[in-house]
Amino acid sequence: MTIRKKNKVDAKPSMLLVCATDAEATFFSQFRKDCRYSNLTVVKATGTTLDKILSEAGSMRTKGKFSSVWCLFGLDDVGATLEDVDASKAIAEKKKVKMLYFAPSFYLYFALFETCPKRVADTETLKRRVQVSFPDFELSSRYFLTSGLNVNFKIYPKLAVADQNARDYNVISEMDTGFAATTLPLFLDDLKTVLGKADMSQARNRF
């Protein structure tokens, strides 16, 4: 009797993004839909401190067998400094979790799609910069589900610009503080490696 061998299907690479706030989780959940990244999982962390979020992400990585796990936070979300983030790198490496952080806040992500000629140390200045392009912009789930529903479609074509701005901005930040202000370039590189190219056609039709 001939025994049929089952076709072995390799597991598809996957990414987990653990967000510090509801607003960030809502934004990247929409990013997942707009880019049609079915192998991206976005969750809101239950912890509120950096150590707790890293620990939570590490546990989820083990249970979910994700290819890559990131913790997303603005420094103001977790009450941390760049020195604190640097001190947490050893913990993150031990748990095999990467940190996607923004100093001083997640507003920096959206500001980088324009230009950042000098380091911005306060959130209010970043907010005013973002509101030049999006007058009613705010970091809230309500905004990303209503008037900000199409933000991804509007900024995604400039993702390469944001990547380069982040790299240039980090040079300035390192000169001023000794630390990079964001790990966005590392995250974007990993996004391409793990998830591949985005398909924005669905979002384009909706927009």
Residue 37 has a CB neighbour count (10 Å cut-off) of: 22
What confidence tens digit (pLDDT) does each residue in 11-47 have?
789 999 999 999 999 999 999 999 999 999 999 999 9
Summarised one tens digit per residue, pLDDT across range 78-114 is 999 999 999 999 999 999 999 999 999 999 999 999 8
What does DSSP assign to residue 41? Answer: E
Interatomic CA distance for residues 105 and 123, integer angstroms: 6
Chain mean pLDDT for the chain = 91
pLDDT at position 3: 52
How does residue 207 score in pLDDT terms, banded at 50, 70 and 90?
Answer: very low
Phi/psi at 104 (5° precision): -90, -10
Which positions ≥6 away from 143 have C-beta within 8 Å?
23, 136, 137
Identify any residues that bridge with 70 across adjacent strands, giving them in sequence order.
Answer: 17, 98
- Which of 12-26, 110-124, 173-187 is the least confident region? 110-124
Q: What is the pLDDT of residues 130-173, one digit of tens each?
A: 999 999 999 999 999 999 999 998 999 999 999 999 999 999 99
Contact 123, 117 (CB under 8 A): no
| Eight-class DSSP state of 58 | H
pLDDT of residue 4: 53
Yes or no: say if 139 and 23 are a contact pair by the CB < 8 Å rule.
Answer: yes
Q: What is the mean pLDDT of residues 118-138?
A: 92
Please tell me the pTM assigned to this model: 0.91
Q: What is the pLDDT of residue 93?
A: 96
In angstroms, the CA 182 to CA 165 distance is 11
pLDDT per residue as tens digits for the range 39-85:
999 999 999 999 999 999 999 998 988 999 999 999 999 999 999 99
Contact 67, 15 (CB under 8 A): yes
Helix, strand or coil, per DSSP, at residue 203: helix
Strand (E) positions, the chain?
Answer: 15-19, 40-44, 68-74, 98-102
